[in-house]
Structure 1
Amino acid sequence: MKLIRICTTFLFLLLLGTVPAFAQTGSAEELTRLLKQADTLTARFSQLSLDGTGTQLQETSGDIALKRPGQFRWHTDQPMEQLLVSDGQKVWLYDPDLQQVTIQTLDQRLTHTPALLLSGDVSQISENFEISHKRSGDVIDFVLQPKGGDSLFDSLRLSFRSGVINDMQLIDSVGQRTNILFSNVEMNQPLEAGLFTFEVPEGVDVISE
């Protein structure tokens, strides 16, 4: 679906010998614990997409706001401005350049978008992913591999520094990589409900899926 494809665009090796092998034991529990720390989250993000050869495809930046369960706002800056908003029931994808908004029911399957992984029901994580992790100092990396065949990515790495989300990397079936770095992360601050709703501007084309 169009929304799923676009989510991937909204959307490292440490020193050899210093990092233990990825461990399965307790990975899901540790990731759940870290994600549950944030009932709300706001941050800046920068996103870089590379093809299978390492050639840069696209670079964007923007703002993200999340609130559990299932509410998120992902705003990409100009010149490639897009706005992705969910109130936990519906998802709006607004493209100002095209003067078009796509509306669909939120798919709660966490395999479909990283935004849902960060804002959704963390109890579903182990049901949808094989999870492993490794530590190096105050950094912990998790690698998630979808159990189902309908995911938009083959592998997702989430990295936390001192217990706070730092970056994520998605790799799809053709080797394309999407790297997302978070900055100015704030957790558990009050967020206005209006952040997670969208009023369709006058004159904008509406597509319902």
Structure 2
Amino acid sequence: MKRVIIFIGLLITSVIATAHANQAAKLDLQTRLAKLDGFYGQFTQVVKTPDDQLVQEGKGKLWFHQPNYFNWSMSEPDELSIISDGKTVWIYTPMVEQVSAMWLKNIPDNRLLLLLTDNHSEMWDTYQVTNTNNTFHLKPTTHAGQQFDITVKPNGIITNFKIVEEDGQYSIYTFSQQRIGPVDKNKFIFHLPKGVTLDDQRQ
């Protein structure tokens, strides 16, 4: 009986220590991201299967401003823009001449962009955070959904991040030419091009 009590005590201590470590890592990451009143960076993308087979390579640029403003523009392999004006997210694919519009709170993917641009989002409560040096590991508490690794320097500069899908496929984004500072608000305004079909999902 004494051994059982000791085991339970150790287990409780371990759980409390893990919770404290998770909270400390989360606060550290949020503190670093809070330094980004604005961010710009160019990135390269590599997408691989769970067994490390190359699926796709790409290039693009990212601008964001807290809270909830972002412009994610891919130039390769195909053009794609995901723009948030703080309320609506516009997903524009020039190749098919179509843009989808949906409320920011309803977007099913791109959770990482929401975490990067809003330290107060309730979404933070759905992730456990651990860190190794400057790399923070975000794992969903529901055991479902994307996992993220984000490398952020103490000054807030993002050097890379990794998105792992539920099926194990993963994407690595490596940044260069990063800048911290105000971003022109026009980067977060989407103008519907002539001849482009609008799929408005904000009903």
Matched, 1:105 2:103: yes
| C-alpha separation in 2, matches of 1:27 and 1:183 | 25
SS in 1 for 2:59: strand
The equivalent residue for 1:134 is 132
SS in 1 for 2:33: helix
The equivalent residue for 1:147 is 141
- Indicate which of 151, 155, 170 corresponds to 1:159: 151
Stretches of structure 1 lacking an aligned partner (at least 5 in a row): 1-22
- Is the Cα–Cα contact under 8 Å of residues 32 and 154 in structure 2 kept in the other structure? no
The equivalent residue for 2:71 is 73
Cα deviation per residue 1:106-156 (whole Å; 9 max; x = unaligned)? 027898521112112346464121011121xxxx111001124663x1x21
Cα deviation per residue 1:145-171 (whole Å; 9 max; x = unaligned)? 1124663x1x21111245321111111
Identity of aligned residues (%): 23
| C-alpha separation in 1, matches of 2:123 and 2:34 | 12
Cα deviation per residue 1:156-202 (whole Å; 9 max; x = unaligned)? 111124532111111112110110111111112x3221110101011
The amino acid across from 1:63 in the alignment is: K
The equivalent residue for 1:46 is 44
| C-alpha separation in 2, matches of 1:110 and 1:133 | 26
The normalised TM-score by structure 2 is 0.81
- Indicate which of 146, 159, 172 corresponds to 2:165: 172
Stretches of structure 2 lacking an aligned partner (at least 5 in a row): 1-20
Matched, 1:86 2:76: no
Specify whether residues 183 and 110 from structure 1 end up closer, same or farther in structure 2 by C-alpha distance, changes over 3 A only: farther
The amino acid across from 1:147 in the alignment is: T
- Indicate which of 165, 174, 196 corresponds to 2:188: 196
Structure index of larger Rg: 2
| C-alpha separation in 1, matches of 2:75 and 2:94 | 11
The amino acid across from 1:174 in the alignment is: D
| C-alpha separation in 1, matches of 2:159 and 2:176 | 7
Matched, 1:185 2:183: no
| C-alpha separation in 1, matches of 2:111 and 2:175 | 17
The amino acid across from 1:144 in the alignment is: L
The normalised TM-score by structure 1 is 0.79
The amino acid across from 1:132 in the alignment is: T
**Total equivalences in the alignment:** 180
Cα deviation per residue 1:70-113 (whole Å; 9 max; x = unaligned)? 00001111440111100010010111110111111102789852
The amino acid across from 2:169 in the alignment is: Q
The equivalent residue for 1:120 is 118
More helix by share: 2
